[in-house]
């Protein structure tokens, strides 16, 4: 990736064909697609890349068995097509970054023969819709085999289960890999650059974005022939900047997750809880050494960031515990996060859980703004392809072929399942460190290790029970545009999603690296640590957890 200061300079100095606003999954996908089609492209985000919804997902690369059920119940061909298209994209996501996305087994327990039959039809249909892109065939288990496969499952009244396979991924790092791929293709990206207004040409079309650098407070202008609004839950506000009075199109739906130690129910199979009190599903998924439980679905008036509450965590655990021999409790929560889904309103849908996760590309005829609305992580690439097709049509040019369907992301080249073990042997590091580095960086992990070879002190672990090493901090700051403590601990290393106490413990060390790399003063260092610890403390308090950094 580029150095941020250089990137900001080049954003100011050039006129671009396309300027993408928003560096989440949708924006990163659009920018990469446009740049690969030969359009000179800029990408900006008001915060860090992936800092909004795109790092707060359930980490599923899926067609959505729940959406398939909705399609069946409502006999809705449109929904079938959305599921089918997402299943096609699922394979592409796994193929383009195998270090970050892989297959995972999901069990749906059933409590009557009718339920067993119903779920088995559902997963077989899911297999069938996947066609040649199916990850693995589903299975129907009786009660004994279900319990053998999933030892923590409560057997009382259990009739059996079905097991199907879907994809799972590291959303934040996948997003960063897209940005990196975009930069390698010659695109210019900058984080902490917020669009605050537009300037127009004589015909009223958008010509210049007025940007405020959120770090220096300086203003800069980015000139482009077309602007793509890929701001997810913020899209209506950008549409209103381009076209004052434009009617809102989005419905916002909040979803939360809690993270628990992975002691039960199973360390490899995920659980799909098929019914909640509000008629949706909840997942309990082994994820990078933890158990991720979520999510909720609650319509909210705006996308203000807010901490996961005790009530939300209790809701998730109440449902999970009905299926477990050993109930889990709120006091075990080690981390949590929330996000806001950007859903496009469908005329007949009253509830957000009934809104299909399809996308829409809107071209505002007055201003020329292209907005990519709705969708889901799994379909980011197809959404981007659609959006850039619209961009080329707006230019009055023929639509050229999108090459992103088969475009390995950085770290994917020469990646193989043995890579972690080979990396460990090559550098003489423990296997858990090799696995962690391979899962986060793919084959670029050798570049991280090269830093530690030059500065052996950076082989040190950041905290005791997490395998990340200090060289990763240096790599994130030097090469991945991390400019705050949270950028490093949350989205680049993943420690904040693994354990708040350990992330809090690591914060001073991360800040010390910024002193070395960016010349932070002592006051800046102390303020950054205090700000980060304050955020962790507020999140712990909202969940009613001890606010002590380390229990």
Ligand X SMILES: Cc1cc2nc3c(=O)[nH]c(=O)nc-3n(C[C@H](O)[C@H](O)[C@H](O)COP(=O)(O)OP(=O)(O)OC[C@H]3O[C@@H](n4cnc5c(N)ncnc54)[C@H](O)[C@@H]3O)c2cc1C
Question: Which residue stretch of 4-12, 71-79, 225-233, 427-435 sits at the interface with ligand X (rule: CB under 6 A)?
Answer: 225-233
Cα separation, 171 vs 492, in Å, equals 11
- Binding of ligand X at residue 23 (CB under 6 A)? yes
Instruction: Tell whether omega for the bond before 295 is within 30 degrees of 0, i.e. cis.
Output: yes
The answer to whether 45 contacts ligand X (rule: CB under 6 A) is yes
Instruction: Examine residue 53 and tell whether it contacts ligand X (CB under 6 A).
Output: yes
190/7 Cα distance (integer angstroms): 6
Which of 138, 253 has the CB closer to ligand X? 253
90 binds ligand X (CB under 6 A): no
What are the distances in angstroms from CA 101 to CA 59, 117, 402?
A: 9, 31, 22
Q: Looking at beta carbons only, is 110 or 378 nearer to ligand X? A: 378
Q: Using CB under 6 A, pick the residue from 41, 54, 484, 496 that binds ligand X.
A: 54
7 binds ligand X (CB under 6 A): no
Binding ligand X (rule: CB under 6 A), the pick from 1, 18, 46, 468 is: 46
Which ranges in 164-207 belong to alpha helices (H)? 171-184
57 is a site residue for ligand X (CB under 6 A) = yes
Given the rule CB under 6 A, which of 50-58, 360-368, 490-498, 514-522 is the region that contacts ligand X? 50-58
Closest CA to 342 of 234, 478, 264: 234
The reply to whether 410 sits near ligand X by the rule CB under 6 A is no
Contact 125, 68 (CB under 8 A): yes
Nearest to 437 by CA among 455, 425, 418, 420: 420
Please state the φ and ψ torsions of residue 384, each to the nearest 5 degrees: -65, -40
Question: Segment contacting ligand X (CB under 6 A): 142-150, 217-225, 231-239, 514-522?
Answer: 231-239
Closest CA to 32 of 172, 173, 167, 177: 177
Size of site (CB under 6 A) for ligand X? 37
Q: What is the DSSP string of 301-347?
A: SS----PPPHHHHHHHHHHHHTTBSS---GGG--EEEEEEEEEEP-T
Closer residue to ligand X in complex, CB, 183/468: 183
Minimal distance in Å, beta carbon 282 to ligand X?
11
If the CB atoms of residues 54 and 476 are measured against ligand X, the closer one turns out to be 54
Can residue 190 be called a binding residue for ligand X (CB under 6 A)? no
Q: What is the smallest separation between the CB atom of 200 and ligand X, expressed in angstroms?
A: 17
In terms of DSSP bridges, do strands 101-110 and 270-273 run parallel, antiparallel, or are they unpaired? Answer: parallel
CA of 53: how far to CAs of 262, 347, 509, in Å?
Answer: 24, 24, 27
Closest to ligand X by CB, 120 vs 378, is 378
Nearer to ligand X, 194 or 346 (CB): 194
- Strand, helix or coil at 469? strand
- Asked if 442 interacts with ligand X (CB under 6 A), we say no
Does 377 help bind ligand X (rule: CB under 6 A)? yes
Secondary structure letter of residue 400 according to DSSP = P
Residue from 98, 109, 255, 286 touching ligand X (CB under 6 A): that is: 255
Give 28 or 147: the residue with its C-beta nearer to ligand X.
28
Q: Is 168 in the site for ligand X (CB under 6 A)?
A: no
Q: In what helix (H) or strand (E) does residue 514 lie, and over which residues does it extend? A: helix 500-518
Tell me the C-alpha to C-alpha distance, in Å, between residue 77 and each of 70, 122, 323, 356, 442.
Answer: 11, 16, 33, 12, 39
CB 305 within 8 A of CB 318: no
Q: At what angle do helices 25-36 and 171-184 cross, to 10 degrees?
A: 20
In the complex, least distance from residue 59 CB atom to ligand X, rounded to whole angstroms:
6
| Beta carbon of residue 171, minimum distance to ligand X (angstroms, whole number) | 7
Of 308, 297, 271, nearest to 357 (Cα)?
297
179 contacts 1 by C-beta, under 8 angstroms: yes
Angle at 250 between CA 101 and CA 379, to 5 degrees: 20
Closest distance between ligand X and the C-beta of residue 214, in Å? 9
Q: Considering the complex, state which of residue 120 and residue 231 has its C-beta at the smaller distance from ligand X.
A: 231
- Among the residue ranges 56-64, 259-267, 348-356, 419-427, the one whose residues contact ligand X (CB under 6 A): 56-64
| Residue 44 binding ligand X, by CB under 6 A | yes
Binding residue (CB under 6 A) for ligand X from 97, 230, 250, 489: 230
206 binds ligand X (CB under 6 A): no
DSSP character at residue 488: I
Work out whether 342 is an interface residue with ligand X (CB under 6 A): yes
Least gap, CB of 150 to ligand X (angstroms): 21
What residues between 60 and 79 interact with ligand X by CB under 6 A?
60
Choices 25-33, 132-140, 156-164, 408-416 (CB under 6 A): range interacting with ligand X:
25-33
For residue 398, give the 3-state DSSP assignment: coil
- Taking each continuous run of H as one helix and of E as one strand, the counts in the chain are 18, 20
Which of 193, 429 has the CB closer to ligand X? Answer: 193
- Sign of the Cα pseudo-torsion (53, 58, 59, 64, in order): negative
Closer residue to ligand X in complex, CB, 146/229: 229
Distance CA 414, CA 392 (A): 34
Are the CB atoms for 103 and 135 separated by under 8 Å? yes
Judged by CB under 6 A, does residue 231 bind ligand X?
yes
Task: Considering the complex, state which of residue 175 and residue 266 has its C-beta at the smaller distance from ligand X.
Answer: 175
229 lies in the binding site for ligand X (CB under 6 A): no
User: What is the distance between the alpha carbons of residues 335 and 297, in angstroms, rounded to a whole number?
Assistant: 19
Using CB under 6 A as the binding rule, whether residue 481 contacts ligand X is answered as no
Which span (155-163, 373-381, 400-408, 450-458) binds ligand X, by CB under 6 A?
A: 373-381
**Residue 56 binds ligand X (CB under 6 A):** yes
Q: Is the dihedral of CA 219, 221, 222, 224 positive or negative?
A: positive
Which residue in 339, 410, 411, 434 binds ligand X (CB under 6 A)?
A: 339
Contact with ligand X (CB under 6 A) among 239, 341, 353, 381: 341
Angle formed at CA 448 by CA 447 and CA 449, multiple of 5 degrees: 90
Binding site for ligand X (CB under 6 A): 21-27, 44-47, 51-54, 56-60, 194-195, 230-234, 255, 295, 339-342, 375-378
């Amino acid at each position: 990736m580029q150095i941020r200061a250089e990137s900001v300079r080049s954003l100011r100095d050039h006129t671009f064909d396309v300027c993408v606003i928003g560096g989440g999954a949708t924006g990163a996908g659009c920018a990469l697609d446009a740049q690969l089609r030969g359009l000179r492209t800029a990408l900006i985000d008001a915060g860090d890349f992936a800092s909004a919804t795109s790092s707060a997902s359930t980490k599923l690369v899926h067609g959505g068995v729940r959406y398939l059920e909705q399609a069946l119940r409502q006999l809705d061909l449109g929904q079938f097509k959305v599921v089918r298209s997402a299943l096609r994209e699922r394979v592409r996501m796994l193929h383009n970054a195998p270090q970050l996305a892989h297959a995972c087994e999901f069990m749906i327990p059933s409590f009557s023969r009718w339920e067993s039959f119903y779920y088995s039809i559902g997963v077989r249909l899911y297999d069938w819709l996947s066609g040649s892109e199916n990850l693995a065939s589903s299975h129907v288990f009786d009660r004994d085999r279900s319990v053998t496969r999933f030892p923590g499952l409560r057997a009382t009244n259990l009739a059996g289960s079905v097991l199907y396979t879907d994809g799972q991924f590291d959303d934040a790092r996948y997003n960063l890999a897209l940005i990196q791929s975009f930069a390698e293709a010659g695109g210019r990206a900058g984080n902490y650059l917020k669009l605050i207004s537009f300037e127009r040409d004589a015909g009223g079309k958008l010509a210049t974005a007025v940007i405020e650098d959120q770090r220096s407070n300086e203003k800069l202008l980015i000139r482009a022939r077309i602007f793509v609004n890929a701001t997810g839950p913020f899209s209506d506000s950008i549409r209103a900047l381009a076209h004052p009075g434009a009617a809102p199109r989005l419905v916002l739906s909040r979803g939360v997750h809690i993270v628990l130690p992975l002691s039960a129910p199973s360390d490899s199979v995920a659980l799909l809880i098929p019914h909640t009190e509000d008629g949706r599903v909840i997942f309990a998924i082994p994820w990078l050494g933890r158990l991720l439980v979520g999510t909720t679905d609650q319509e909210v008036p705006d996308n203000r960031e807010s901490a996961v509450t005790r009530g939300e965590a209790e809701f998730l655990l109440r449902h999970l515990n009905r299926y477990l021999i050993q109930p889990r409790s709120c006091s075990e929560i080690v981390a949590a996060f929330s996000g806001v889904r950007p859903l496009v309103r469908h005329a007949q849908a009253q509830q957000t859980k009934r809104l299909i996760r399809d996308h829409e590309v809107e071209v505002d005829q007055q201003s020329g703004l292209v907005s990519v609305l709705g969708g889901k992580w799994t379909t980011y690439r197809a959404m981007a392809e659609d959006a850039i097709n619209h961009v080329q049509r707006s230019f009055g040019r023929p639509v050229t072929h999108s090459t992103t369907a088969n475009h390995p992301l950085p770290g994917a080249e020469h990646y193989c399942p043995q890579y972690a073990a080979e990396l460990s042997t090559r550098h003489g590091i423990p296997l858990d460190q090799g696995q962690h580095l391979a899962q986060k960086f793919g084959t670029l992990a050798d570049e991280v290790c090269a830093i530690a070879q030059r500065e052996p002190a950076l082989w040190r672990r950041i905290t005791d029970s997490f395998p990340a090493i200090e060289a990763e901090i240096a790599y994130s700051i030097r090469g991945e545009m991390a400019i705050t403590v949270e950028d490093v601990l949350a989205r680049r290393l993943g420690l904040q999603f693994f354990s708040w106490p350990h992330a809090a413990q690591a914060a001073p060390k991360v800040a010390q690296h910024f002193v070395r790399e960016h010349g932070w003063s002592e006051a800046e260092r102390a303020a950054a640590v205090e700000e980060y610890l304050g955020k962790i403390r507020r999140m712990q308090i909202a969940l009613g957890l001890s606010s002590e950094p380390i229990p």
